Structure 1
């Protein structure tokens, strides 16, 4: 089976750590556990007590890798916070494009406005569901910006289909 080659960008200190051999012991322990499980007849060689040996090695490496942010994101922590919240909406909450596309009357922008304005006395919660509690100011602004990103994504999809 041909697998695609995936290149991961990591900062130079992380790359140097990997190349230094300091992780060799951890990799050896992972592979030894897989070998021991195989010898005991508990699993095929590639599979150890904690799953596939290669997956365990990758997980161990990933746990030690520092993520290299996209170019320029280090100059604006806000962008990273907003992107993380938007990904949480997509991946954890399941608010995908199909979900967002159901809201064609500015509901996403209204919800963003509600989160962005701490004195939103004149603004009503734009959903039928119970009104959520506000978080701290930063969390509310990040939610607002993420919702605006969702609305921008939705509008961009509408323009593409025209």
Structure 2
């Protein structure tokens, strides 16, 4: 019950995820190596990987090297979800990404939320590093996350 005698609703899963992500972002901002000013410096040094625009990549499948309309596949690295529980908790994201790329995926989506989806930024980095040798034909990498702040 609330102070005025009304029953309080339990938080929704999205409210729980949002509250946890706020804590996670605050912790990351205070961690040496991931503070905002350090991330800005890394970008200025050119340490960020080159970007692949998502929409053009979906419109032109790199595995077929054609600009004509073709089937584009978006693959996903997902360890778990709040509704399904564990899906692939022990997946090797680098190996899985390479398999997806070799099968013709245009985009690889990586869930990075750690508490309910059991993902991480390391998963995304490993995916990116695994497909880097494919050069311009590599799939685009899409981060799936609950983003609420510029950080």
Question: Between Structure 1 and Structure 2, which shows a larger proportion of helix residues?
Answer: 1
TM-score over 0.5 (shorter chain): no
Higher RCO (C-alpha 8 Å, min separation 6): 2
Superposition TM-score, scaled by structure 2 size = 0.25
Superposition TM-score, scaled by structure 1 size = 0.24
Question: Between Structure 1 and Structure 2, which shows a larger proportion of strand residues?
Answer: 2
Of structures 1 and 2, the larger Rg is shown by 1
